[in-house]
Amino acid sequence: MRKVLAGSLFALMLVVLAACGGGDSESTEGNGSNDGSSENSGDNGESSSESSWTPESSIEIVAPAGAGGGWDTTARMTAQTLTEEGIIEQDMGVVNKPGAGGAVGWSYIANQNNPHNIFVSSSPLLLVPLNGQSEHTYEDFTPIANVIADYGAFVAAPDAKWDTLDELFQDMKDGNASDITVVGTSAPGSMDHIQFIRFARAAGVDVSNISYVSDPDAGGVTQVMNGSADVFSTGIGDVTEQIRSGDVKPLAVTSEERLDGETLGEIPTAKEQGIDETFVNWRGFFGPPDMTEAQVTYYENKLKEMSDSEAFADIRENYAWDEMYMDSEEYQTFLEEENEVFKDILSDLGMLEE
């Protein structure tokens, strides 16, 4: 009887121990699962897991300018491609924040400091702060990725005495450069102005004497046609139709090589004319100052997928843009180098804000 009782007690102990062991194992798995799947949001909407991030609300792309310009077009074509190609599933909208050469939009992003708000920009993000017209610099934001390269152009009236850019610069060197008026859409010290100065300086023109006027209402074509200005410094996309129709005469395009297309392919580069300079109007995306690595990676990957898509290749061809993708790290280095070049040019003009 004692043997039977002892055997029963021993068997019962084994069952209890097995049950306890199984319970401990289940508890450990449960704890591990909770640690790995926690989605508690941080201050920036970031998951507690720093290896990945996905948007928790709709995404807003800010164009720091009015409708119809380069920033606006890039923002809208990007939002369209990301949505229609199913690259980003969240709702996306484009908001225009024009004013002060872009500074109004930059201030909006800085104040929002929301990873669901990104913005498109280009050279003015460097130039406008350098000449003292914005409190925010590129260093106040997070570079995400560059996506395209656009180019500039210099055009004159159809009956202008210059047929090429080098002829214009030779005239400036032979006479008084201030007698020739250059018009651009951007403010003095910003992109259209500095684009022209960059080439004039490379050609040996005394850039301190160049007369530049700003027409923010995009009336440059009208001014060269009616004789109010001699040369219009602008983006090639802004004058393609006028070149095609013969309303203006193209003197040069700022690209390394001639652009594709029946009309654009006929415009000579500055390099062809012995002026060793190019200018790329890069356009890319930035986020607020406090983005995490995971948030940057999310947008970086999505914009790379967009850049590689056939849909965006068609858009680039339609707008005469070139592919110029740079990831966040490459973009940061590029921005630092460009900033130094612009500092040097603005210093020559006496426009660098110390």
Q: What is the mean pLDDT of residues 180-209?
A: 95
Same-domain status, 331 and 188: no
- Residue 83: CATH number of its domain: 3.40.190.150
| Distance in angstroms (rounded) separating the CA atoms of residues 206 and 263 | 32
Residues 6+ positions from 186 with CB-CB distance below 8 Å: 101, 124, 192, 193, 214, 216
Give the per-residue pLDDT at 219: 85
Q: How confident is the model at residue 10 (pLDDT cuts 50, 70, 90)?
A: very low
Same-domain status, 181 and 244: yes
- At which of 253, 280, 307 does a domain end? 280
Same-domain status, 301 and 333: yes
Same-domain status, 134 and 101: yes
Ramachandran angles phi, psi of 57, nearest 5°: -150, 180
- pTM of the entire structure? 0.82
Note whether residue 207 is domain-resident. Answer: yes
Same-domain status, 157 and 268: yes
Q: How confident is the model at residue 33 (pLDDT cuts 50, 70, 90)?
A: very low
What amino acid occupies position 318? N
Residue-number span of the structural domain to which 314 is assigned: 59-150+281-349
DSSP 80: H
Same-domain status, 274 and 304: no
Give the per-residue pLDDT at 264: 93
| Distance in angstroms (rounded) separating the CA atoms of residues 104 and 97 | 6
Note whether residue 28 is domain-resident. Answer: no
Same-domain status, 176 and 260: yes
- At which of 280, 297, 323 does a domain end? 280
| Distance in angstroms (rounded) separating the CA atoms of residues 121 and 65 | 10
